[in-house]
Amino acid sequence: MLLATFSPAARSKSFVIMTVFLLSCAGQAAAAADDVPAAVHEAQQQRIATIEKAAQAAVAIFAGEAGGGSGVLISPDGYALTNFHVVQPAGVSMKCGLADGRLYDAVLVGLDPTGDVALVKLVGRDDFPFVELTDSDLVEVGDFCFAAGNPFLLATDFRPSISAGIVSGIHRYQFPADTILEYADCLQVDAAINPGNSGGGLFDARGRLIGVNGRASFEKRGRVNVGVGYAISANQLRNFLGFLKGGRLVDHATLGATATTAEDGGVVVADILESSDAYRRGLRYDDEIVSLAGRSVRTVNALKNILGTLPAGWQVPLVFRRAGRRTEILVRLAGVHRQAELAAIVAGENPAGRRQTPSPPGEKPAGKEAEPPERPSAPLPEALRGLYELRPGFTNHHFNVVERDRVAKAIATRADWNSRRGTWTLSGSLAAGEPFRITLSDTKGTIDLPTGTTAVDATGDLDANPSPPGSGGMLAALLVWRRLLMAGPQPLGRTAYWGTVPLDPAELGEFGSPVLVDVLESAVSGVEARCAVAPNGDVTGIDLWTAPDADPCEVRFRAPDAAGVLPVGMPRTIEVRHGNELFGTFTIEEAVLEPTVAAAAGETS
């Protein structure tokens, strides 16, 4: 506008001067670019390539008129993580676009409403681009990070938007904002996180998945980025992934106790349920909690952070201090909600029966009741037929069967148990050197100990006789173990895939989290049993309850025989615990597994 007040000659002269100035700047910029070290150019190209590779795994999720969000592929067969609040309006099926420009059908697999996590499965190929979860506990404040997603549903060509920044906080705890969505131990970033970014991946400088974006502190500025976004950590996601793949409706853990800060700064028990496992293990009012699940507890928020990353039902180490004395126990964590409450939450109903729609993360609720989104009444797309089964207690029971059968196949291929359906006789010595003898068959279980001989009728209800005395049901557990090995989970009883648990709660694996093994849950002959199975098909443990409120008999099968003395798959040691007590450690020196009558006849003919 100022140039318009000058004479034509002056304007022409000014234009020439400006042109010369701009050309001079461009020349200086080109010269400066030539002076940039080759290493800087190489680092830039590497960053571009890393982001491009991660972008291939980004998913643009569309829920029709209900909106949409983002996701991230974590396996070549199409499993993708996203947020619960993204998929809830979509229902069972949704459309998902990838950076290749193609649109894929996807089906809901598992839900974690409290943690705001969902697992979906894209179909149409078995070589999807994907990224792997890394150890989010190694992330530090100041680390470079970038988000890939679909903010404001801008990715009409399905290519994700990329926003970069740094990690501005770690181990953040975000209270539920008038919803059940609890963000515990999350990563705080200044990379732009806007509506639509929810469910997308957060990556480190090497393109590894360190979290899933889902929440931001919008406050009074409206639903736009203010530089404070939050991501669910990769380590928390890994803890729950087994449950989600099993089509479960997942719950988070509670200790059954509340904590407060003491005058000296310690975290002490303020209240505790006498029905909780923590109480049965010895935790009491005013005890100082030192650590949980291998992580130090220095504040009440730290305790909430740890619990928020753990699934209900896990057994984890807890260290507490009383009168200066340090004690370590293993605690089985309870669930925050009942299954009926979780189902009501997913349906948009609160436990009191009123209907409400959760507020989007970071946005305050409207303060009025609303009808929840209806599940689509239209049939599933052809590509998803047969991939969904509705059953109480599950998000999608079809995938529970898939995981159960996968574990069954691993057990069956580990050893030829099916041809060993005769009597099993295990003999050896106890820790003090005394001999033992265990006999297991289709009709009876017997154990000979220095204290005497006890037996269990294998054809009746196993909860009627938790023998030998003091074990909580060792013989019943071993009979369930034998049935599982010989026949698999289907004939065992009402058996489902439960999820994953730590192989050894006291040890951490590669990613700062426990090494996880699969668990099958069975209701058989009057008892409840959870059987842990390693990836190679070895059964590593059985927890068996003869009554719902009783301490289980905990059987651990350790040190598979490597010398070839015992049959393939037979453990060298069986450790049995009940409550806080070690019932016994049984070292197997000889195992005779008789074949079935038909197999024996075939051997002699």
Quickly list DSSP for 351-416: TTS-B--PPPTTS---SS--PPPPPP-SPPPGGGTTS----TTBS-HHHHHHHHHHHHHHHHHHS-
In a 10 Å sphere around its CB, with 0-12 CB exposed, 13-18 middle and 19+ buried, how is residue 113 labelled? Answer: buried
Instruction: With residue 390 as reference, give the H or E element that holds it.
Output: none
| Residue 342's pLDDT band (cuts 50, 70, 90) | confident
pLDDT at 374 > cutoff 50: no
Tally of domains in the chain: 4
Give the sign of the dihedral formed by CA 466, CA 467, CA 472, CA 476.
negative
Please pick, among 93, 163, 168, 198, the residue that the annotation labels catalytic: 198
Domain stops at, among 309, 335, 361: 335
- Give the span between the Cα atoms of 598 and 431, in whole angstroms: 38
Lowest mean pLDDT among 221-225, 377-381, 545-549: 221-225
Does 592 lie in the same domain as 539?
yes
Determine the angle formed by the axes of helices 234-245 and 397-414, rounding to 10 degrees. Answer: 90
Whether residue 247 is contained in a domain is answered as yes
**Contact between residue 250 and residue 110 where contact means Cβ atoms under 8 Å apart:** yes
What average pLDDT is seen over the chain? 86
CATH number of residue 264's parent domain? 2.30.42.10
Distance of CA 66 to the CA centre of its chain: 27
The per-residue pLDDT for 508 is: 65
Whether residue 161 is contained in a domain is answered as yes
pLDDT at 229 > cutoff 70: yes
Does 27 lie in the same domain as 167?
no
Structure tokens, 325: 């004395």
Domain stops at, among 251, 267, 286: 251
The per-residue pLDDT for 63 is: 80
Does 170 lie in the same domain as 101?
yes
DSSP code at position 282: T
- Give the span between the Cα atoms of 218 and 362, in whole angstroms: 6
* 3 state SS of 339: helix
Q: Which residue matches tokens 């990353």?
A: 309
Whether residue 349 is contained in a domain is answered as no
Mean pLDDT calculated for residue range 30-58 = 85
Please pick, among 85, 337, 397, 578, the residue that the annotation labels catalytic: 85
- Give the span between the Cα atoms of 72 and 209, in whole angstroms: 9
pLDDT at 228 > cutoff 50: yes
- Give the span between the Cα atoms of 394 and 402, in whole angstroms: 13
Structure tokens, 121: 């499965």
**Contact between residue 362 and residue 176 where contact means Cβ atoms under 8 Å apart:** no
Quickly list DSSP for 223-242: SS--S-EEEEEHHHHHHHHH
pLDDT at 320 > cutoff 80: yes
**Contact between residue 312 and residue 338 where contact means Cβ atoms under 8 Å apart:** no
Closest CA to 248 of 502, 521, 497: 497
Does 301 lie in the same domain as 190?
no
Does 198 lie in the same domain as 323?
no
DSSP code at position 249: B
State yes or no: cis peptide before 365, omega within 30 of 0.
Answer: no
Whether residue 321 is contained in a domain is answered as yes
Q: Is 85 a catalytic residue?
A: yes
DSSP code at position 36: S
**Contact between residue 522 and residue 494 where contact means Cβ atoms under 8 Å apart:** yes
pLDDT tens-digit readout, 410-438: 999 998 888 888 999 999 999 999 999 99
Does 537 lie in the same domain as 426?
yes
**Contact between residue 130 and residue 156 where contact means Cβ atoms under 8 Å apart:** no
Whether residue 289 is contained in a domain is answered as yes
Q: Which residue matches tokens 């002269």?
A: 13
Structure tokens, 406: 């996968």
Domain stops at, among 232, 251, 270: 251
Does 103 lie in the same domain as 246?
yes
Sheet architecture: strand order including 452-457: 452-457, 444-449, 435-440, 424-429, 581-593, 571-578, 553-560, 539-545, 527-533, 516-524, 494-502
Residues whose CB falls within 8 Å of the CB of residue 81, separated by 6 or more in sequence, listed in order? 71, 72, 74, 117, 118, 119, 199, 201, 212, 237
**Across-strand partners of 524?**
527
The per-residue pLDDT for 370 is: 32
| Residue 9's pLDDT band (cuts 50, 70, 90) | low
| Pairing relationship of beta strands 325-332 and 315-322 according to DSSP bridges | antiparallel
Lowest mean pLDDT among 57-66, 193-202, 203-212, 516-525: 57-66
Does 274 lie in the same domain as 242?
no
Residues whose CB falls within 8 Å of the CB of residue 559, separated by 6 or more in sequence, listed in order? 571, 572, 573
Structure tokens, 96: 């998902």
- Give the span between the Cα atoms of 357 and 368, in whole angstroms: 9
Residue type, 383: A
Q: Which residue matches tokens 């990613």?
A: 511
Whether the pTM exceeds 0.85: the reply is yes
Lowest mean pLDDT among 301-315, 331-345, 346-360: 346-360
pLDDT at 93 > cutoff 90: yes
Give the largest CA-CA distance in the chain: 117
- Give the span between the Cα atoms of 200 and 203, in whole angstroms: 10
| Residue 221's pLDDT band (cuts 50, 70, 90) | low
Q: Which residue matches tokens 């993580």?
A: 81
Give the sign of the dihedral formed by CA 275, CA 278, CA 283, CA 288.
negative
Whether residue 307 is contained in a domain is answered as yes
Q: What is the CA radius of gyration of the chain?
A: 29
Other beta carbons within 10 angstroms of residue 192's beta carbon come to 21
CA atoms within 13 A on the CB side of 533: 31
pLDDT at 510 > cutoff 70: no
Does 29 lie in the same domain as 146?
no
Does 226 lie in the same domain as 112?
yes
Please pick, among 112, 116, 185, 538, the residue that the annotation labels catalytic: 116
pLDDT tens-digit readout, 242-300: 999 999 999 999 999 999 999 999 999 999 999 999 999 999 999 999 999 999 999 99
| Residue 206's pLDDT band (cuts 50, 70, 90) | very high
Whether residue 357 is contained in a domain is answered as no
Q: What is the dihedral of CA 310, 313, 319, 322, to 10 degrees?
A: 120
Q: What percent of the chain has pLDDT over 90?
A: 66
Range of the domain at 205: 51-251
- Give the span between the Cα atoms of 283 and 271, in whole angstroms: 10
Does 487 lie in the same domain as 453?
yes
| Residue 43's pLDDT band (cuts 50, 70, 90) | confident
Closest CA to 303 of 331, 322, 344: 331
CATH number of residue 136's parent domain? 2.40.10.120
* 3 state SS of 304: helix
Phi/psi of residue 206, each to 5°?
A: -95, 5
Other beta carbons within 10 angstroms of residue 513's beta carbon come to 21
**Contact between residue 196 and residue 66 where contact means Cβ atoms under 8 Å apart:** no
Lowest mean pLDDT among 199-203, 493-497, 594-598: 594-598
Does 65 lie in the same domain as 17?
no
Whether residue 400 is contained in a domain is answered as no
Structure tokens, 576: 């049995």
